[in-house]
Structures are given as C-alpha cells and as structure tokens.
Amino acid sequence: MSEPASPDPDASTDAEVFLDAARTRIDAYLHEVLPPTDGPSARLAEAMAYSILAGGKRLRPALAQAACRAVGGDEERVLPFGAALEMIHTYSLIHDDLPAMDDDDLRRGRPTSHKVYGEALAVLAGDALHTLAFEVLLVRTEPADLARQAALELARAAGPHGMVGGQVEDLGAAGREPDEETLLLIQGGKTAALLRAACRGGALIGGGDEREVEAAGRYGRHLGFAFQMVDDVLDVTGTAETLGKTPGKDEAEHRMTWVAFEGVEATKARAEQEIGWAVEAIRDLPGRALLAGLARFVTRRDR
C-alpha cells in the first residue's frame, strides 16, 4: 500500500512524524533517568515525575534531535541533552506557576504542582529537576569536552542572562506600556534562549562544525520568538481545553505581550517573518528540510 501524498507542500507530515518519534524517544529516556518513585524521597520523585511526565510537546528535546540529525548525527546521542532541556523547562514551569509568580492552577491540562503537592514540595521538585538536568547531561554525554560544552549551552541559556533573566524582565514589565525592545528582551530570555541552546547543543553533539552550530542556533532563536508570538496569540484566541492551561491570563495580568503591543494580526505576521528568518538561517545545513518543516509545523499549532 502506498502512502497517501502529503497535502502539505512544506512537508509538515514529515515534521509531525518526526515530532512523534522524537517525543516517544525522549519520554522513554526520561522514564529511565528519573529517580524511582518507590525509593528514598519517594514523594519528591513523585512530584518530579508528575510535572515532567505530564505529556508536553517535548519541543526542546525534539529540536535538539532534529538539529543533531540535520548535521548528520545520530539522535540517540543527544537524548541526555534533550532530557536535560526538558528538565530545565519543566522546573521553570513549576516555579513560574507558583502563587508568588503567575499563580496558575492549570498546566498541561492538569492541576499545577503546588496545587497537588503544596508550595514547599513544588519549589523543591523544581530545584531537584534543575540539578538533575546537569547530572544526567554530564554523566551520559561523551566525550567529556562535549559534555562540558553542551552543559554550558544549557547553563548560559537557563541562567541570569537567559531564561531566568527573561522571567525577571517579564515580572518587571507587567502593566507597563509595551515596547519592542522590552519584548525582545523578555522573550529572548524566557523562550528563545532555550530553543537556541537546544539547536546549538543538538548540532554540537551531532558533530556539527562551528558554522553549523551557529546556523542551528540562529534558527532556534528565531523559532523561539515565533513560538512565543504564536503563544501570545493563542492566549487570546484559545480555550482552557485546547491550551491545557488557563487562557486570557496575559491580559488579566497586564502582561507585556506582542498582542498587547500590536494586536493579533500584526503578531501573526511577525511570527511568519521570524519563521522565514529561521529557515533562511539553515539554508546551508544538509538536513535543512526537516528543520524547516518543524518550524512551520510547530508554529501552526492550535494549542
């Protein structure tokens, strides 16, 4: 039986198939590296598993795998790094959802960590995932120099000049008149930094040369901005059911978003522009077709 022809000229079917396979690989790997829930500190292990095994899209590990393949590498090698990315992402979601931060009750369609385990354990489950990310990556990536480089990509993207810095800017910007510079600073840190690191690390571990790692990083950064723009749009147009989290929060909290800055349509156009730049950045990579398809697919999501 022949496969039906893809109705999508930009290979979004291939992207979807790849994303599914990448998610299956990383989910299996995460089960392997998380602490057992029947050992010591069982409640901590349970809280860690609750948040990270809640069935996210696994975009960051998938991008790492795609960037690895795009430079000719074997994506199995990048699973420790992918698991670390997902742990860092999940820790940040747990902490962001805390009452003192965004005070969110719903995440990935389920009650947030502190609603289930209480605030203290939620803080600690986030902390534990944060540390475990570095442990898993450093133990399981060879050789040592590559492990170090990949861990540095992760640390720089997650730290005060990346994800956490962006979160602080976001908190400080609430209620202020939106401006482009601040939006780039917030979302460059909160989202684009980690997607950039996912792609750089994937290309690095896949054996890419400096030029290829740079190209993958630019792609990831543009994709990160596009992704966040789509997220801003969905917060206005989506429902709790389709989003798996509470919609309308951005406006309710006077958060600085692209939609608040220039409206839904202009934000959609800006996202398209970012995707164009992302695709342009990887024009010389051997495996550019997969990355280009992913860029279009993940920003066309309705959730």
Long-range contacts of 30-33 (CB under 8 A, 24+ apart): 30/83, 30/86, 33/80, 33/83, 33/132, 33/136, 33/140
Site string for a copy of itself, 180-219 (x = CB under 8 A): -----x----------------------------------
Residue 254 binds a copy of itself, judged by CB under 8 A: no
CB-nearer residue toward a copy of itself: 9 or 40: 40
Candidate list 172, 248, 263, 286; residue touching a copy of itself; CB under 8 A:
172
CA distance 231 to 17: 22
> How many helices (H) and strands (E) in the chain?
15, 2
- Report 97-136 residues binding a copy of itself (CB under 8 A): 98, 100-101, 118-121, 123-124, 126-128, 130-132, 134-135
Please give the structure tokens belonging to residue 132: 């475990």
- Report 6-45 residues binding a copy of itself (CB under 8 A): 35, 40-41, 43-45
Residue 139 binds a copy of itself, judged by CB under 8 A: yes
- The structure tokens 């719903």 sit at 106
Q: Number of residues in contact with a copy of itself, rule: CB under 8 A? A: 49
CA distance 177 to 80: 41
Q: How would DSSP label each residue in 196-237?
A: HHHHHHHHHHTT--HHHHHHHHHHHHHHHHHHHHHHHHHHHH
Q: Which strand (E) or helix (H) includes residue 182?
A: helix 180-187
Candidate list 59, 62, 93, 147; residue touching a copy of itself; CB under 8 A:
147
Which of these, 221, 217, 230, lies nearest to 271 by C-alpha position? 230
Residue 156 binds a copy of itself, judged by CB under 8 A: yes
Residues in touch with a copy of itself (CB under 8 A): 35, 40-41, 43-45, 48, 91-92, 95, 98, 100-101, 118-121, 123-124, 126-128, 130-132, 134-135, 138-139, 144-145, 147-148, 151-152, 155-156, 158-161, 164-165, 167-169, 171-172, 185
